[in-house]
Structure 1
């Protein structure tokens, strides 16, 4: 990675809404009303007279979980990069979330690796602890309250083209009644955003219309989530520990738990997640869940001590995926993809919502750069590739290393050296706050992963890790 790539990534993180910008479109359409689509709609609201979000689910009321987001009852994290971007483009939303019961909690001592807390990074950052349905509701309310943004309840079924550019979206209304008697409708649009998520049908639409499909890359990441809610009788301000993220390497198993997280969220609740790889499915009942938590840092026992709210909710994902739009040859103009439709990662890294925010930032930068709208949006996909590459290096890189170690796979010397360096940095975060700061900046998507390749940082990490490896072997988890 070049320094220009690092700088570009940070510019996208820090992007502000534009002032007094020209309107480029009469109608812009976003297919999909989840967080990625809503953030894209927010960007387009500055550039279009009308923005229409086509979404099959009923999102007119605050109903909590919805069919289009089957994983929304699991733990979600809006990383600092995403939180900062959303706050800039929707001022006051963090305070509004707190007013609704979400917690803005300090990250000091929140992460433990193999039972050992990371050294504090000295930044004093805070993380927004909030349930995914509430966060999506707050963003949706902000975006749809804009005068030129509306939601059309329907199922998109395809695109129409004119002069090698998208000109309309075909859809079937889903606003009640007998859907079998409803014919397809058409929405004329000057610009279209695919935000249909992990199962986006855009590639099939492109193929059927004679355009090239983006190459689909997959990395096996068989994960099993189990999440449960518990009553929290203690206010966040009175908690001794306000949350935790516990990570375990394969050689340090804890009752099949590879990752665990606990957050104090709205409605005086704890949300607690246990995740296992492969055949490990920890905590499928409340009893099993609590038993597994007794083998984790003490905050997990505290979080699961209250009455359970409902049953354990499970979620399984077999792989991470990315679609390489930047490589596509023949591609229609006035069309882009964002969010999980482009890349869906192992969710344990918490990158999904923040990546969606940075994809929206890419869209703003592209539209603000005076693009030729009658040609494919290659500059947008170039910007987006910077974001996707950064997130993919962290999540898919970690999953690939785990699989290779598990299967005894031989890897090239360059890859082996990169993984060794990351091991040194990870181990050093337990002892050196400066290394923790650099590591967290990348984990929080504030800095590009290439910044961890700095020779001085690596030398510092190696020095700290020499003692760390020996100590880890004798470490027991603080009960």
Structure 2
């Protein structure tokens, strides 16, 4: 990976809001009111006289899970890269979340373990925002929709309108406007459109139906099963030894089918605890099963789940990771982009979904701030976004692929086997070497590009820890 890509990735992580920029559009439309859609709307609010978010879910209830985000009740932690970006663009959100009971968790209260070994501290004050996804989304939504030129239209996007090979509007139906099959279709004229409709986005289908190229869909079969429950937390944050726990297990570790276990403090004086299994392993579908699995894990999980249950077990299954390759599409309409899970959706356990959404919004800000020709397809945007997607995909989908291949005994090419061996050695060295731990965390937290793990100086440190094989 070239140094320019590394520098570009870091510039997207550190991007600041613009000041006194020209208005480019009369009306911009964002299809989908998720974190990704809301952050895109925040960026567009600087560039459009009016921004309309089309969202089918009722978002009037504060801090409630949406039907359109079935993963919302599972463990979510805002990684440092995403938290820092959102805080710059929506100042005060972290503090407001803490005022509502969320916690800003520093390294002194973070635990990352591999089998029975805790990762070495890296000496950097990385801060996580430990918060329930519904609360964070409601706070971001309140901030974005409070902007004078941003509004939400409760409706279901059903298609696009075009003019001069560019998007000219969005077609939609409104809930309650007749029967489901007989609703009158309406339209909204728009000069720029963002697809933030999530994993189930219909944009590719619309494009193919309307004579444009459908972006290639890549799928990585990685069936994951989540079970998450909430427990009382009588101890306040300052009194806790640990406030966030991420425990990963190799296939050989006797964890009873649990591949990943995670716990984090959240609002309401609660512990949010998640168990994840691959394939047929579906840990903890009842509280009794859940606690039984936790009893077989490191003792901290039994301690955390010993309190009263404040929400029963909620399960979630995801069959695959997927990404849509917009950079390969030769013919796309101008003034149209896609963001968030609509572009790339991967195993949520790596925690990179919301931070990826923030960096996709950063790509949008960079694209609109450049000298790009807006009457042509947004090729420059999609190439910027690919840098972010590649980085997240390497960590999440790459980790899942290695795990599943190991469990199934799958033969992989020698080049892939060699790269995975080096990554395993880097992860092993991170358990004992603070320098390697720092580099490993910077990539996991989306602060730096994954290619930085292969810099010669770091590989020398890994070699010193592992006996020299990583540098070969």
What TM-score results when the alignment is normalised by the length of structure 1? 0.96
The 1:58–1:177 alpha-carbon spacing in structure 2 relative to 1, beyond 3 Å, is farther
Report the number of matched residues: 469
The match for 1:87 is 87
CA offsets 1:220-266 (integer angstroms, 9 cap, x no match):
11101000000111111111222211000111131111101111100
Where does 1:26-425 land on structure 2 (aligned, <5 Å)?
Answer: 26-62=26-62, 64-108=64-108, 109-174=110-175, 178-179=179-180, 181-425=182-426
Does the 8 A contact of 1:115 with 1:296 survive in 2? no
The match for 1:5 is 5
Does the 8 A contact of 1:153 with 1:175 survive in 2? no
* Deviation, structure 1 residue 444: 0.1
* Deviation, structure 1 residue 177: 6.6
* Deviation, structure 1 residue 176: 6.8
CA distance in 2 between counterparts of 1:458 and 1:325 reads 34
Does the 8 A contact of 2:63 with 2:135 survive in 1? no
Does the 8 A contact of 1:243 with 1:299 survive in 2? no
Partner secondary structure for residue 381 of structure 2: helix
* Deviation, structure 1 residue 31: 0.1
Does the 8 A contact of 1:159 with 1:168 survive in 2? yes
CA distance in 2 between counterparts of 1:446 and 1:244 reads 20
CA distance in 1 between counterparts of 2:294 and 2:348 reads 20
The match for 1:475 is none
Consecutive unaligned residues in structure 2, runs of 5 or more: none
What TM-score results when the alignment is normalised by the length of structure 2? 0.97
Does the 8 A contact of 2:52 with 2:152 survive in 1? yes
CA distance in 2 between counterparts of 1:139 and 1:92 reads 10
- Structure 1 stretch displaced more, 401-410 or 166-175: 401-410
CA distance in 2 between counterparts of 1:185 and 1:250 reads 52
The match for 1:16 is 16
CA distance in 1 between counterparts of 2:154 and 2:176 reads 6
Does the 8 A contact of 1:424 with 1:458 survive in 2? no
The match for 1:428 is 429
Does the 8 A contact of 2:107 with 2:124 survive in 1? no
CA distance in 1 between counterparts of 2:440 and 2:153 reads 42
Does the 8 A contact of 1:334 with 1:374 survive in 2? yes
CA distance in 2 between counterparts of 1:394 and 1:63 reads 30
Query: Superposition RMSD on alpha carbons, in Å?
Result: 1.6
CA distance in 2 between counterparts of 1:366 and 1:171 reads 27
Does the 8 A contact of 2:114 with 2:249 survive in 1? yes
Consecutive unaligned residues in structure 1, runs of 5 or more: 468-479
* Deviation, structure 1 residue 293: 1.2
- Structure 1 stretch displaced more, 240-249 or 148-157: 240-249
CA distance in 2 between counterparts of 1:37 and 1:341 reads 10
Does the 8 A contact of 2:9 with 2:448 survive in 1? yes
- Structure 1 stretch displaced more, 18-27 or 297-306: 297-306
Does the 8 A contact of 1:241 with 1:299 survive in 2? no
CA distance in 1 between counterparts of 2:181 and 2:418 reads 58
